[in-house]
Amino acid sequence: MDNTRNQCAVTSEANGGEVDELDHAFDAVAAYFRVLSEPTRLRIMHVICEHEKTVSQIVEELGATQTNISRHLNLMHTSGVLARRKDGQQVYYRAADPAMLEICRSVCIHIAAQVDEKMPLRGDLLRLLPQSKRKKRAA
């Protein structure tokens, strides 16, 4: 915590104490986090965190309508969170932004740590961990 305060203090001092100069950066960060602000988009990240999937696979796993999923996928692709490729009639999506995936994982791990181990939610949240880290936490 003290490190963060020091970094913030240094930033403020370097900018003459004027946070207004950072408004553009704060707006960009808020837009970045808005991508995660919708539960369906978090579910999409959860479904494709390890492997790319087709739109129909994502729709099937989430049990939502294709129209709804496609809308979210398009927004996530446009914002740079997801990458897509087309193979014939199929469109495949995968996580494109490692930072966003790490943010999702970190928050889910943090919340999962607060949930009783016997509850199914913990396992679902920990699924966002890479395979190697998941095995260590299970032990």
DSSP, residue by residue, 84-103? EEEETTEEEEEE--HHHHHH
Instruction: Say whether pLDDT at 15 is over 70.
Output: no
Partner residues linked to 73 by β-bridges: none
Work out the percent of the chain whose per-residue pLDDT is above 70: 68
Instruction: Say whether pLDDT at 61 is over 90.
Output: yes
Work out the percent of the chain whose per-residue pLDDT is above 90: 37
How many structural domains comprise the chain?
1
Instruction: Answer yes or no: is 59 within a domain.
Output: no
Q: How far apart are CA 116 and CA 79, in angstroms?
A: 34
The pLDDT assigned to 75 comes to 94
Instruction: Answer yes or no: is 76 within a domain.
Output: no
Range of the domain at 110: 99-134
The pLDDT assigned to 59 comes to 97
Most confidently predicted of 5-9, 34-38, 113-117: 34-38
Q: How far apart are CA 121 and CA 114, in angstroms?
A: 11
The pLDDT assigned to 16 comes to 53
The pLDDT assigned to 100 comes to 86
Instruction: Say whether pLDDT at 10 is over 50.
Output: no
Q: How far apart are CA 116 and CA 101, in angstroms?
A: 24
pLDDT tens string 63-104 = 999 999 999 999 999 998 999 999 999 999 999 988 888 888
Task: Tell me what the pLDDT averaged over the chain comes to.
Answer: 79
Q: What is the DSSP string of 105-136?
A: HHHHHHHHHHS-TTSHHHHHHHTTS-HHHHHH
Instruction: Answer yes or no: is 130 within a domain.
Output: yes
Instruction: Answer yes or no: is 128 within a domain.
Output: yes
